[in-house]
Amino acid sequence: MATWSSRGLRGSTLEELINRTCQQYREKRLALIQKVPTPITPVRIDQSSRHITLAYFDQKSTVDYIGAVQGIPVCFDAKECNSDNFPLQNIHAHQVEFMKDFEAQEGIAFLILYFAHRDKIYYMPFEQMYGFWQRGQNGGLKHFKYSELAPQWFLKRTGSVMVPFLEGIQMDLEKREGDLEKKKN
């Protein structure tokens, strides 16, 4: 069973940047996105500092963030990677199912990937993530490569917004509208 101390600080940089971005979006009344707390049970507590030093996860969490952007429900998970190959084992089956169900309810689900060694942030629409996931489940590669990613989905930092995921959501919505138009014709 995974424990708190075995995870280290993996992903904490990205989450801090996203938390700051969510705060900015909220202050500007552009979006209301909340970090979903991971339920834990403390096992060991340092009495002098009152910090949890060892804990286990009570249950599987859904995704890292959930909320609304201009009335559109959104959910996403944040993942950090230090190489050009992203292991699909970092995306859990229960997260994929939750995101799939969220999309079925007309919400927008996506991943925010931070390639730390390149200092690049990628917005991965659910459809793309699910394609890689299915490939891995059907005997294909159990990872995807940086070189497989579509350049237009890399987010460009502008001003004080560190993880401008609203731009990714806008592109995602435009792509979905375009796909609907193609189906009609």
Provide the CATH number for the domain around residue 38.
3.40.1350.10
| Band (132; pLDDT cuts 50, 70, 90) | very high
Q: For 53-100, how does the pLDDT look when each residue is reduced to its tens digit (9 = 90+)?
A: 776 655 566 899 999 999 999 999 999 999 999 999 999 999 999 999
| Band (115; pLDDT cuts 50, 70, 90) | very high
State yes or no: pLDDT of 49 exceeds 70: yes
Residue that has been written with the tokens 């490939």 in this structure: 135
Question: Can you say which residues are annotated as belonging to the binding site?
Answer: 62, 64, 77, 95
Does residue 4 contact residue 38 with C-beta atoms inside 8 Å?
no
| Band (41; pLDDT cuts 50, 70, 90) | low
Per-residue model confidence (pLDDT) at position 184: 83
Per-residue model confidence (pLDDT) at position 10: 45
Q: What percent of the chain is modeled with pLDDT above 90?
A: 70
Measured in degrees and rounded to the nearest 5, phi and psi for residue 14 equal -60, -45
Residue 135 to residue 28: CA distance in whole angstroms? 40
Range of the domain at 134: 4-184
Question: Can you say which residues are annotated as belonging to the binding site for Mg(2+)?
Answer: 62, 64, 77, 95
The tally of domains found in the chain comes to 1
